[in-house]
Structure 1
């Protein structure tokens, strides 16, 4: 007959087991960036504080150059929202995206429907500007709002290499609630949204706020 485990030994083993279970295992997500509505890459192990997988598709128009970009990777749940948002600075500068966040290994491998922009004017206007290397910008014109863009939005953040940017224009209600740290691919750049604020938009016949 085998000797029974000593109480102190059992307690130590139970403590170690609980500690290991509490630490959990790192999440694995597909990681890739590509032009077009979908990309394909390898599964990679996320950092321990990255507890979500992200897939996002963005349609952006920069000075009349239209681009659709897809991105998949790891993210923190505190910086990851499922849903969509759109911001229009003017007819040649706008951005919209759809994203999905999930928490299982490889759960971001499935493609996401591309963002579809509603180009129909809704009769609202907002002050508009776009600037690089700055955290704020001063409106120089009015943006004509389209579709579900019913709010005036101010956005600031970082492009790759830590370059600051700021923008103001028409936005959807969902853009007002974008979490700080949200990643948005735009052409060859990966933008990080740091701050958003919103105000009511004005009727086209009135003066924008």
Structure 2
């Protein structure tokens, strides 16, 4: 299961792959590890039944700073061979996932989707909220390359009787929109992240684009 969520101060990427987060019924054995490089090695562990070995490579860029993470572990078949990109005015999140289905197998190296900074003449609203799961904004951003969807991603983290909600809107690729609804629970912490998408709208004019970019630079919202 793959999760991504930009916050006001940073980008948080949550990947729940360890078998301890999943239901019992052990089947396949997979390597479990994380690294800031494009590969990693680690210990092996039993996965829950019906899971496969998965490798996920992801990139998070905020401003001029870009970080990478590589994760191997247990995952769902529905997450295999997926890749996607999500963007806000001052940041981009990219991921790619590959799988294999035998004990101690090594998935093919995942390749991140390329960054295309050419406007596709489409636009989406953008906003971030740390208190609501449905932020709304009249501010628009220009979408680039294959970013043909407007995405809303909302998150709920529940500990006991307390639930923290957050949300973000921006431009996304069609493949990112396939994430849909993802849930995980561990150590009494429940997490639910829902990704919803709609079609982008055409840019109204060059003036609209100029105002959008100016507002983004002035507010530095991410």
Task: Provide TM-score, normalisation by structure 1.
Answer: 0.70
2:202 corresponds to = 203
SS in 2 for 1:177: helix
- For 1:138, the equivalent position in structure 2 comes to 136
Deviation at 1:77, TM superposition (A): 3.2
Displacement after TM superposition at 1:53 (Å): 1.5
Give 1:133 shift. 4.7
**How is 1:32-111 mapped onto 2 (pairs within 5 angstroms)?**
32-48=33-49, 51-77=51-77, 80-90=79-89, 92-111=90-109
Deviation of residue 140 (structure 1)? 5.1
State how 1:108-187 maps to structure 2 within 5 Å. 108-139=106-137, 141-157=139-155, 164-181=165-182
Unpaired runs of 5+ residues, structure 1, are 1-23, 184-191
User: Cα distance, 1:109 vs. partner?
Assistant: 5.0
Change (3 A) 1:141 1:196: same
Cα deviations across residues 51-110 of structure 1 (Å, max 9, x unaligned)? 1211111111135431111111112335x24221111111x2221111113322223454
* Uncovered stretches (5+) of structure 2, i.e. residues with no partner: 1-24, 185-190, 210-222
- Structure 1 44/164 Cα, relative in aligned 2: closer, same or farther at 3 Å? farther
Q: How many residues align?
A: 175
SS of the residue 2:48 aligns to: coil
Q: Which runs of 4+ in 1 moved over 6 A?
A: none
TM-score normalized by the length of structure 2? 0.66
**Partners of 1:130 and 1:167 within 8 A in 2:** yes
Look up the match of 1:15.
none
Determine the C-alpha separation between the residues in 2 that align with 1:33 and 1:158: 25
* RMSD across aligned positions (CA): 3.1
